[in-house]
A and B are shown apart, each in its own frame.
Chain A
Amino acid sequence: MENLSKAIKEAARKLFAEGKVDLIIGFEEGSLPLRATPCFARNAQEAEKLIWNSGCNNNLAVYVPQKKGRIGIVAKGCDSRSLVGHLKEKQIERENLVIIGVPCQGMVDRKLLEKKLGNKELLSIEERPEEIVLKGDGFEETVKKIELLPDNCKTCKHKTPVIYDILIGEKVEEEKEADEFEKIKEFEAKTSDERWDYFSDEIKKCIRCYACRNACPLCYCKECCVDSSQPQWFGKSIELSDSQVFHLMRAFHTTGRCVDCGACVRACPMEVDLRFLNKKIEKEVRGLFSFEAGINPDEPPPLATFKPDDPEEFIK
């Protein structure tokens, strides 16, 4: 990790020295243990703050749409696929983007970390290649990193960025075995009553803070359908059916665009299982239209195109 931090700083210095970027978006030390926070460096001096560790879990692509100037951005595999989405949707020009790709083995999920700790407060950590040592008042616990990875990192098939201008470190071997749709298939085997109960129980937790929407790199609408008041499509309160409509529509709006970066789930303070919706849509898009989001910026989005023989068994 130390080497990666050094290499990122080096790459940033070089980019500023060569005048190739106006801004570099990366990570710097956060104010909590194992928490990196987005950093906006505008010169070589500010770039000295850049770091890399297993707490770099934000998707920095969220800051890209409509940003002016030439932007350097530190991107993990999932972040790079979000950037492919931005290029496809013309939110930024390719020549204005310098992608500093960092192959990633997964980022620690803070919520799993908190569950591990129970009530204890984490005061500092020590990061090792496969493990993390958690330290606090009167305790020290070593945990395997793999136990702290969220689901989407465990089944990630694109650990090495799919698009980059500079690659930091070595390419990582891609996961071949894990089935990324395993949980969805388990749900599909349940009855509709069970799925409805699960969906309702999850959405009941929602407090309509919109952290999911705002953390998602692809939710960049100037006016979200939630804020429409003439007409108001669905209510803004935490009444269950209003929250359900919000989540269904947000998930549907990411059809063929969502790359399962997990930013929404990480941002959600109430641990709503949002991937229950997004992952199902991703599975259907893959199955029905043979399309995977965030791989090829020139491939048209699946809902913006059609084939004469598209599946239509569901239509009378």
Chain B
Amino acid sequence: MEEGKESSWEPKIVTFLCNWCSYAGADLAGVSRIQYPPNTRTIRVPCSGRVNPLYILRALQNGADGVLVSGCHPGDCHYLSGNFSARRKFAIFSQLLEHIGIEKGRVQFSWVSAAEANRFAEVISEVTEDVRKLGPAKRMVKKRVE
């Protein structure tokens, strides 16, 4: 990649935020005018348990440099056990991704509650930095017509 292109690259991070906690937390951050990196593209889901690992793979295939799935803290799930289900699923899935060679830090998970506006901004900053260090995603990206 040319010098110029390299330095102007900004990570594109797809975030799956659960409606009741993380999305609300992101909303609160916005309303409170808390600054955080603008690299995320958010998809609102009813619950972190709704997130099918296939969505994460699709995001990577479509060129996402990073993916974040964020939900309610265990015990606080609006649907009672959705995030417990998610926790088990993603424990396995994150290991599988690392095993096949997807760099550690590209796909991350977090618990952020509706009141944690500052924490949301922190999580986004951290994830963006992690992904920025890893560079543009080259693995799992589907070859498209130029």
Contact = CB atoms under 8 A, between A and B. Distances in A.
Task: Find out whether A and B make contact in their complex, taking CB atoms under 8 A apart as touching.
Answer: yes
B92 interface: yes
Interface stretch (B3-11, B25-33, B39-47, B105-113): B105-113
A280 B96 contact: yes
A316 B109 contact: yes
A245 B54 CA distance: 8
Contacts of A308: 74-75, 84
A308 to B, nearest CB: 7
Contact of A251 (B94, B96, B123, B143): B96
Interface in B44-97: 53-54, 57-58, 61, 74-75, 81, 84-85, 87-96
A40 interface: no
Interface string A270-309: 0000000100110011001100000000000011001010
A315 interface: yes
Interface residues of A, number: 42
A233 B101 contact: no
B133 interface: no
B143 A312 contact: no
Interface residues of B, number: 38
Contacts, number: 111
Q: Is the interface of B mostly helix, strand, loop or mixed?
A: helix
Given A192-B104, A193-B101, A195-B101, A306 B123 contact: no
Pick from B61, B84, B88, B98 the residue with the most CB of A within 10 Å: B88
B28 to A, nearest CB: 18
A316 B142 contact: no
A199 B101 contact: yes
16 contacts: A192-B101, A195-B101, A196-B102, A198-B101, A240-B143, A241-B140, A241-B142, A277-B96, A288-B92, A303-B89, A306-B81, A306-B88, A308-B75, A308-B84, A312-B87, A314-B94
